[in-house]
């Protein structure tokens, strides 16, 4: 079981060079136990290389990492479920048979309960009815769900999922989101690499943002939202009056055009802005308060647009 107060994943100066290129450069991850941690970054930012180092698939050039309190990834792997760079199964075997082969390869698994484990994993990802169908006849979404089922053959303390909803239709995506939420409520830590910002906003409690091999931001998603200043937007026919009021209140970056009058809210309460406008006789048709979207914040952190076609890096 996870140790209270200990991070599920910790890295210190984790670095990986390929020839003279630093694919991952001095990354310090701290993934809270029990969190759903979204791992974001544009194409080539080092996300997949980092994941592969965490799982012991690639050796770091320098730095250290701990997974579930263990220094060696191999010591914790029986407590880790992973889906990295898409699932790979035998095309001529059924979904059930593929999972049975994987389960049989686990020396810590009790063979007497193998059938129940495989059946439960298939049902949990909605593939119970297609368990007997050959893998080569599965759609892309079904293959992705079978890969997730493979991570659930045994109870896990940590799931590492690289693009878990890739290829899924809207219903399949909702099912995976529900599954991740359910696992998190059970105390499983989920480390989720995704190119879908809407998915991250709905699922994740914490995020890490990679850019050019470096971790440029890490922390609770709520804190990322708070670090960006709110803007107020006033719809009024009296734009001159609105600008005057906002400046008198000390709001910064006041602007006005045909779309309305806007300013950075700063520490002023929104209701105080509305009250000041009304006292000044400014007719308010509409008043909104907004923070930058996660995509806008992502661009601000990385200096790059978020390519929705990016499935790794």
Find residue 258's DSSP bridge partners.
none
159/255 same-domain check: no
Q: What pLDDT, in 10s, does the model give residues 113-143?
A: 999 999 999 998 889 999 999 999 998 878 8
113/141 same-domain check: yes
Average pLDDT over residues 296-307: 64
Residue after which a domain boundary falls, among 225, 241, 256: 225
User: What are the two backbone dihedrals, phi and then psi, of residue 51, each rounded to the nearest 5 degrees?
Assistant: -60, -45
Pairing of strands 80-83, 30-31: unpaired
Average pLDDT over residues 140-154: 87
> What percent of the chain clears pLDDT 70, i.e. is strictly above it?
90
* Residue-level pLDDT at 72: 65
Look at residue 105 and tell me if it is in a domain: yes
Alpha-helix runs per DSSP H in the chain: 47-54, 73-76, 95-104, 114-124, 140-151, 170-185, 197-203, 221-226, 239-248, 270-279, 294-302
121/138 same-domain check: yes
* Residue-level pLDDT at 5: 57
Average pLDDT over residues 161-171: 79
Q: Kindly give, in sequence order, each residue whose CB lies less than 8 Å from that of residue 50, ignoring residues fewer than 6 positions away.
A: 11, 14, 16, 24, 27, 29, 39, 210
In 3-state terms, what secondary structure has residue 163? Answer: coil
Q: What pLDDT, in 10s, does the model give residues 208-243?
A: 999 889 999 999 988 877 666 778 899 999 999 999
- Residue 126 structural domain: 9-225
Residue after which a domain boundary falls, among 182, 201, 225: 225
Whole-model pTM? 0.76
Look at residue 264 and tell me if it is in a domain: yes
In 3-state terms, what secondary structure has residue 259? Answer: coil
Q: How confident is the model at residue 9 (pLDDT cuts 50, 70, 90)?
A: very high
Query: Which domain CATH number covers 182?
Result: 3.40.50.300
198/249 same-domain check: no
CA angle 287, 288, 291 (to 5 degrees): 155
Look at residue 84 and tell me if it is in a domain: yes
**Phi/psi-derived region of residue 146, left when phi > 0, alpha when psi is between -120 and 50, beta in every other case:** alpha
In 3-state terms, what secondary structure has residue 132? Answer: coil
Residue 177 pLDDT exceeds 90: no
143/86 same-domain check: yes
CA diameter of the chain: 79
Average pLDDT over residues 10-18: 95
33/151 same-domain check: yes
Instruction: Decide: 100 and 118 in contact? Cβ < 8 Å.
Output: yes
184/111 same-domain check: yes
Q: Of 66-75, 113-122, 147-156, 214-223, which has the strongest mean pLDDT?
A: 113-122
* Residue-level pLDDT at 200: 83
């Amino acid at each position: 079981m996870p140790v209270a107060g200990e991070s599920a994943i910790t890295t210190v100066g984790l670095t990986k060079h390929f020839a003279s290129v630093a694919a991952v450069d001095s990354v310090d991850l701290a993934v809270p136990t029990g969190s759903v941690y979204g791992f974001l970054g544009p194409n080539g930012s080092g996300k997949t290389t980092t994941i592969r180092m965490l799982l012991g698939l690639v050796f770091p050039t320098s730095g250290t990492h701990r997974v579930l309190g263990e220094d060696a990834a191999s010591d914790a792997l029986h407590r880790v479920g992973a889906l990295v760079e898409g699932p790979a199964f035998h095309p001529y075997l059924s979904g059930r048979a593929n999972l049975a082969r994987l389960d049989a390869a686990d020396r810590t698994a009790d063979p007497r309960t193998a059938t129940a484990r495989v059946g439960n994993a298939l049902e949990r990802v909605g593939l119970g009815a297609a368990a007997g169908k050959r893998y080569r006849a599965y759609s892309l979404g079904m293959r992705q769900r079978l890969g997730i089922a493979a991570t659930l053959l045994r109870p896990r303390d940590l799931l590492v999922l690289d693009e878990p909803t890739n290829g899924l239709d809207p219903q399949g995506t909702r099912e995976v989101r529900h599954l991740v939420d359910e696992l998190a409520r059970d105390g499983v830590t989920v480390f989720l690499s995704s190119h879908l910002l809407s998915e991250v906003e709905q699922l994740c409690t914490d995020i890490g943002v990679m850019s050019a091999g470096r971790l440029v931001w890490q922390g609770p998603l709520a804190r990322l939202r708070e670090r960006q200043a709110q803007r107020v937007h006033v719809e009024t026919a009296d734009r001159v009056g609105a600008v005057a009021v906002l400046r008198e209140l000390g709001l910064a970056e006041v602007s006005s055009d045909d779309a309305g009058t806007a300013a950075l809210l700063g520490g002023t309460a929104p209701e105080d802005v509305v009250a000041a406008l009304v006292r000044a006789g400014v007719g308010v048709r509409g008043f909104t308060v907004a923070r930058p979207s996660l995509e806008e914040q992502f661009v601000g952190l990385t200096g790059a647009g978020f390519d929705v076609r990016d499935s790794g890096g």
